Homo-oligomer: A and B are copies of this chain.
Amino acid sequence: MSENARPLDLLNTARGKMVLVELKNNHAITGKLVAFDVHINVTLENAEEKKEGETLRKLGNVFIRGDTIILISPTI
């Protein structure tokens, strides 16, 4: 654990991997993390919108605005 560790390091290592993105409206989106920026705007591939574990719909490619995001967690 380095003193220089930064929060965006986790997102950097998650590029190209599946992540869970939780939104402020209680929905979640899963997908492969393609890109992110300092506002935490992210783009995902093969994205699916979920609520309480159920897939609501498939979104494919999606841009998510950073200020609607609560958390991002890489899934195994």
Residues in A lying within 8 Å of B, measured CB to CB:
1, 3, 5-12, 15-16, 20, 23-26, 29, 34-37, 40-43, 47, 59-74, 76
The answer to whether A7 and B41 touch (CB under 8 A), given A1-B34, A67-B67, A68-B24, is yes
Docked pose: A71 CA to B40 CA in angstroms: 13
Contact A72 B63 (CB under 8 A): yes
Number of copies: 7
Docked pose: A42 CA to B71 CA in angstroms: 10
Docked pose: A5 CA to B9 CA in angstroms: 15
Residue of B nearest to A12 (CB): B3
Give, as a whole number of angstroms, the nearest-CB distance from A39 to chain B: 8
25 contacts between A and B (CB under 8 A): A5-B15, A5-B34, A5-B43, A6-B37, A7-B36, A7-B41, A7-B42, A7-B63, A9-B43, A11-B63, A20-B59, A29-B71, A60-B73, A60-B74, A60-B76, A61-B74, A62-B73, A63-B71, A63-B73, A65-B66, A65-B69, A65-B70, A68-B69, A68-B70, A68-B71
